[in-house]
Amino acid sequence: DASATEAAAPDAVRAASGTPLAVTANVGSAREAATARERGADGVGLFRSEFLALRSDGVPDEDAQTEAYAAALDRFPDGEVAIRTFDFGGDKPLPGADGTAPRGVAGSLAAPDRHREQLRALCRAAARGAGDLTVVLPHVTRVEEVTAVRDHLDAATDELKAAGVPHERPALGAMVETPAAVELAPELASRVASLSLGTNDLSRHVLGTTRDADPSVAQPAVVRAIDRAVTAAADAGVPVRCCGEAAADPEFAALLVGLGVTELSVAPDAVPALKRRLDGVDLPAAATLAERATAASTKSEVDSLLNEGP
Ligand code: PEP
Ligand code: MG
């Protein structure tokens, strides 16, 4: 067993100053949540619920969704599990759909029955599963999307109450993965309990590249977009997690915590190394690094700052 020969990952990660930092996992099923737990993740930072549909014959019914969400929550009785509503579209089309539906939360709002069903499953899982549930909205581009989901959540809880089904209303969070969400970050942060940075999509939208191209998050424009979102969240007193692949890069991870991100969510297998990297990190030095990277004008400046580290 190769992992047994590596240094053990610390249980709880703290910066040198004592500030706790969470290392959580990106998963697509309850089974992957169990793997994440085995790798030492503190919770689930992103459950991509669309994988439940993409890896089977379509969208599972309300009961099957409730099972999957509750099983993931049960893996983290003392932790938080952030489950994202379906993010179909773009590189993840809903099987059988004609591809004209809008991406992310807009796609859910365009299919209200399916969306309501998912929200009911999430509310039922919140009451059943052990961990703390946050429901995260993908590809947010408008404030009204958050308001509309809140209305659907009201209706979903009313329906469950009327039917006598045990349920609990989960916290709401929003992905910041479009330039629109960066622009609206102050408004979004004042309306949700947490923000999730999706650097995979944010970098390609900021840079105008395709998702398959080298994501190159280490660029002034991307660093500044992240900084704006994190600052807006800090001003609103709302925590920010980062769920993009960049969070698993040891150099970029230091920059993210320096910017003020307090939770990094990565693939389960990347959890142990990231925990070792962040344990005892010098936060004031990381903050200085982040300040310099935010002020940098060129990619080569950002690259050399990242090489230098905090
Ligand atoms: C992202 O865009 O960075 C993200 C976490 O979402 P996904 O990779 O599922 O699009
Ligand atoms: Mg995304």
Tell me how far the alpha carbon of residue 129 lies from the centroid of ligand 2, in angstroms. Answer: 26
> What's the distance, Cα to Cα, between the start and end of the chain in Å?
33
CA neighbor of 103 nearest in space, from 112, 90, 116: 90
CA neighbor of 253 nearest in space, from 276, 274, 223: 274
Q: What is the pLDDT of residue 215?
A: 58
CA gap 261, 281 in Å, rounded: 13
Assigned token pair, 299: 């990619």
Tell me how far the alpha carbon of residue 139 lies from the centroid of ligand 2, in angstroms. Answer: 7
Assigned token pair, 162: 């009327």
* Shortest-distance Cα residue to atom 8 of ligand 1: 200
pLDDT in tens, 167-179: 999 999 999 999 9
pLDDT by 10s per residue, the chain, length 310: 444 445 677 889 999 999 999 999 999 999 999 999 999 999 999 999 999 999 888 999 999 999 999 999 999 999 999 999 999 987 788 877 877 889 999 999 999 999 999 999 999 999 998 889 999 999 999 999 999 999 999 999 999 999 999 999 999 999 999 999 999 999 999 999 999 999 999 999 999 987 666 658 999 999 999 999 999 999 999 999 999 999 999 999 999 999 999 999 999 999 999 999 999 999 999 999 999 999 999 999 999 999 999 9
CA neighbor of 43 nearest in space, from 160, 217, 173: 173
Which residues have any ligand 1 atom within 6 Å of their CB? 46, 48, 87, 177, 198-201, 243-244
ipTM over 0.95: yes
Tell me how far the alpha carbon of residue 5 lies from the centroid of ligand 1, in angstroms. Answer: 32
Tell me how far the alpha carbon of residue 159 lies from the centroid of ligand 1, in angstroms. Answer: 31
* Shortest-distance Cα residue to atom 10 of ligand 1: 201
Q: What is the pLDDT of residue 214?
A: 65
Tell me how far the alpha carbon of residue 162 lies from the centroid of ligand 1, in angstroms. Answer: 36
Tell me how far the alpha carbon of residue 7 lies from the centroid of ligand 2, in angstroms. Answer: 32
Counting from 1 in the atom list of ligand 1, the atom nearest the Cα of 46 is 5
Mutate to test the pocket of ligand 1, among 52, 55, 175, 209 (most ligand atoms within 8 A of CB): 175
* Shortest-distance Cα residue to atom 3 of ligand 1: 198
Helices then strands, counting H and E runs in the chain, come out as 15, 9
Mutate to test the pocket of ligand 1, among 46, 210, 240, 243 (most ligand atoms within 8 A of CB): 243
pLDDT in tens, 64-87: 999 999 999 999 999 999 999 999
Token look-up 């994440």 returns 36
